[in-house]
A and B are shown apart, each in its own frame.
Chain A
């Protein structure tokens, strides 16, 4: 069983009515196996978030098919197995972290006791136990990010899809996210995450995919890529250059 399978997905967007269509994804194909940590790399605007949003059915592909655990991503039930952290997450201002996790647990069918247990555990892990009863509007950007991570994991999903999970976090927060990723990996969970921080990708990933201008230009095991003194940064920059840019500065 493939935990994530993307087959020939293409997607075009119009920025405005009457504007020319922009190709966000062009024939993207990739697979992620059980227990793998897959790093999704690419310059800004390369199509990483678009691919991720297709996986959680927020947008639909023009062409191609995406499935999770061999079930189409359009199947509502499959999302019981997915934990999704959006890039720069935004939650309800007037809810507390505890209420946010209650919502996450209830909508995935957890019992109140199970929610309570997981909430305590996760909020401790993301260091928000002391702020559990505070409304999210009083949280800093990093705290919201950590609450979002806890929400994505409340139902102990088989597949975690994390869009820029380190964004907005200080070094301690980044270490915390790293520890959580490693812990999920040790429990056989599948993790698909995008990041701009190459050292994070090097640290946690088994395989990486580099996407430029909507096209996947490289997918391989990290240990096949980083032979000798090769750095991921050089591989990334080389791949982007070879693909003809797509880098927004």
Chain B
């Protein structure tokens, strides 16, 4: 821990002072203000729309944080050779990966905490001005949705570490992360579709089904963390769903990080 903490702290400081973070926070605030205005205009299902927009604004901002601040924190070390100064200290490659990741997790949690506060404030303001539209409403479900969103960002961030350890430029890491994100969000639906094609009247070859099934187990299933719909409708979630989702997130994150550390141990930095 004596080695991990300094790496985590400078990673966090480097991230939190990055101007891109201010831009992302500003975007989130604008979306939350827009939430207030939009909800005032539609005058139907206001409660559901307000919760959905608020949670979406936080998720989008978090995604931008991982893509434009997080990736740079790791990949730029390699691009700009700042890694020389870190690895020339008594720090092992694995410690570097874990320390850097802890710094990123700290950045995600703190940023998401503040964004969540603003999101909940916007929901509360709308709730106060339109109390009739909130017959079914649950703060715990909103908190759970925000926590799941944070966990999915931590998982995505671990993936960026894996990609950064494989590639040599931040651009390729960004592209791979975006691809993994898109696949991770839609894979569950695609799998359901190719496994039961008769429901929509299409034919799917057995090879396609296998490919999709392999991809399903290889890529992270990010859609399980998306419970915006349940939060907007205040639908309860089973404890076992919560447990397995959290476990899935933690196990996938650990695997991605372990993979990154194993690859990184073998790398050279000419």
Contact = CB atoms under 8 A, between A and B. Distances in A.
Contact of B90 (A59, A86, A107): A107
Interface string A72-102: 0000111110101010011111110001001
Interface string B153-164: 000000000000
Contact of B85 (A53, A86, A99, A108): A86
Most chain A CB inside 10 Å of its own CB: which residue of B81, B85, B268? B85
A220 B165 CA distance: 42
Contacts of B91: 76, 79, 107
A94 B14 contact: yes
A106 B92 CA distance: 15
Given A53-B269, A92-B14, A94-B14, A58 B88 contact: yes
Contacts of A177: none
Contacts of A50: 270
A56 interface: yes
Contacts of A116: none
A89 B85 contact: yes
A135 interface: yes
Contacts of A135: 17
Contact of B269 (A58, A99, A102): A58
A53 B87 CA distance: 11
Contacts of B10: 92, 95, 99, 103
Interface string B12-56: 011001100000000000000000000000000000000000000
A102 B6 contact: yes
Interface string B53-97: 000000000000000000000000000111011011111100000
B76 to A, nearest CB: 9
A90 B17 CA distance: 18
Most chain A CB inside 10 Å of its own CB: which residue of B2, B10, B18, B89? B89
Contacts of A53: 269-270
A102 B268 CA distance: 26
B22 to A, nearest CB: 12
Contacts of A89: 84-85
Given A102-B6, A103-B10, A135-B17, A90 B90 contact: no
A104 interface: yes
Interface in B99-129: none
A43 interface: no
A90 B6 contact: no
A104 B268 contact: no
A60 interface: yes
B186 interface: no
Q: Per DSSP, are chain A's interface residues mostly helix, strand or loop, or mixed?
A: mixed
Contacts, number: 79
B137 interface: no
A57 interface: yes
A13 B269 CA distance: 11
Contact of A80 (B2, B18, B90, B270): B90
Contact of A79 (B5, B6, B90, B270): B90
Contacts of B89: 79, 104, 107-108
A80 B80 CA distance: 24
Contacts of B92: 76
A80 B3 CA distance: 12
Interface string A1-16: 0000000000001000
Contact of A13 (B13, B17, B87, B270): B270
A86 B89 CA distance: 12
A246 B82 CA distance: 29
A86 B270 contact: no
Contacts of B88: 56, 58, 79, 82, 84, 86
A214 interface: no
A46 interface: no
A12 B11 CA distance: 33
A56 B6 contact: no
Nearest to B270: A59
Interface string A41-53: 0000000001001
Contact of A151 (B5, B13, B85): B85
22 contacts: A56-B88, A57-B87, A58-B87, A58-B269, A60-B268, A78-B90, A80-B90, A84-B88, A86-B85, A90-B82, A92-B10, A92-B14, A94-B18, A99-B10, A103-B6, A103-B10, A104-B89, A106-B6, A107-B7, A107-B90, A108-B90, A109-B2
Given A58-B270, A82-B88, A99-B13, 4 more contacts: A58-B88, A76-B91, A94-B17, A106-B6
Interface of A: 13, 50, 53, 56-60, 76-80, 82, 84, 86, 89-95, 99, 102-104, 106-109, 135, 148, 151
